[in-house]
Amino acid sequence: MPKVVIVGAQWGDEGKGKIVDIFTSSVDAVVRFQGGNNAGHTIIVKGEKTVLHLIPSGILHPGVVCVIGNGVVVDPEVLLEEINDLKKRGFLSDDSQLAISEEAHLIMPYHKKLDQLRESRKGKDKIGTTGRGIGPAYEDKMARKGIRFCDLENPEAFRKKLTDILSRRNERFVKMFQTEPFDINKIFNDYLASYQKIKKYIFNTSLLVNGLVKKNKNILFEGAQGTSLDVDHGTYPFVTSSNTVAGGACTGAGVGPTVIDEAIGISKAYTTRVGSGPFPTELEDETGKLLQTKGGEFGATTGRPRRCGWLDLVVLKHSVRVNGLTGLVLTKLDVLSGFEMIKIATSYEIEGKKIEDLPASLELLNQCKPVYEEIPGWTENISNLKRFEELPQAVKNYVRRIENFLEVPVILLSLGPERGEDIVIRNPFSSQ
């Protein structure tokens, strides 16, 4: 049975939550493999909005196992809030539906404080982080100074580790940032108290997921953010702190690459970006404002307005390559209704020279000017259509142009925020 990775193909905010929710009806498990509560996956069912930051987007489907993998960094306080909110609303009534990796690293109070202090000092050069401690938590993980859920199982060992870390960190906070030191006892007690409430969900999730693989179950691996925010393959340094690409599913879930059957990329029918960093097709005019207004382009996690622009096929071509995409989902296609002409960037230009691939150099990327192809738009409301054949010809032409350029088939069109406002062309979980 298929094992499919779903990733963002742009700079995040592509609507992955809704797409995961759609495909969850065909799977046995959903595995979140990277990121932290800097991601917000929004699902709307019968007018009720659910925003998930850590728990996989499949949690609204009873009977589906939802896994937070070892590649995710977890803020226990945020996780408990999310669990409690779901339970109050009638979800997660069966605790066996949620499994959290014992190897997942924890976001600590000093990570959040450091994240915020650093960003505030950068001024105009700030990265645009959410200030939730994700970057510093990953830094400690790579520096072998992180604290994992399994460390909380032994309070004595946890206290020693925390004391060793904070003895150095507190000195740095006081001397470098002139802030108050952290109270070791408070952090120790707070985190142990949180752990006792979370403990029943803690497992060796690599064993769990590989067990499901052996049982030939359908598994969806859910990524956060987007390909152009990948720490290796994104617009560095304006990126997140983890591997958002499909390959990250293996390390972040504890499975081998031979397990994965497909990689599906999620892209808006236009382009958005939150925070700082290069954005070649950004529209700082009335068209950009119109896209922002019609698309409701405000961050699910931060509420920050998203920068908007035309679809960038150079960015998507890069995403196809580094993810090995086998299919593409186009979201918010309905937002483009009413535009007389729609533009697609098919290449860039620097001082008259054509650039067909995404430059690694930030300096070069900032100089890139998009080369547009214009495609006739449409005026019809397409939200209620259920079959590709019912779409206006202009919409079909737009979709086909994207497919032909990227040489990847579009497998689903999202035509509105609600569950059911979509056209499924091919379900990767029922095509094999």
Which residues are identified as catalytic? 13, 41
Report the DSSP beta bridge partners of residue 49: 44
Cα–Cα distance measured from residue 149 to residue 356, given in angstroms and rounded to the nearest whole number: 45
**β-strand pairing of 271-273 with 307-309:** antiparallel
Return the closest-CA partner of residue 402 out of 280, 307, 311. Answer: 311
Smallest CA-to-CA distance from 114 within 33, 45, 185, 169 is with 169
In this structure, are residues 310 and 374 in contact, taking their beta carbons and an 8 Å threshold?
Answer: no
- Taking the alpha carbons at both ends of the chain, their separation in whole angstroms is 7
CA 201, chain centre distance (Å): 23
Q: Residue 335, exposed/middle/buried by CB under 10 A (0-12, 13-18, 19+)?
A: buried
- As given in the structure block, the two tokens for residue 6 are 């779903």
Pairing label, strands 262-268, 353-355: unpaired
Helix (H, G, I), strand (E, B) or coil at 372: strand
Distance, in Å, from the CA atom of 338 to the CA atom of 383, rounded to the nearest integer, reads 13
Burial of 26: CB neighbours in 10 Å, binned 0-12, 13-18, 19+: middle
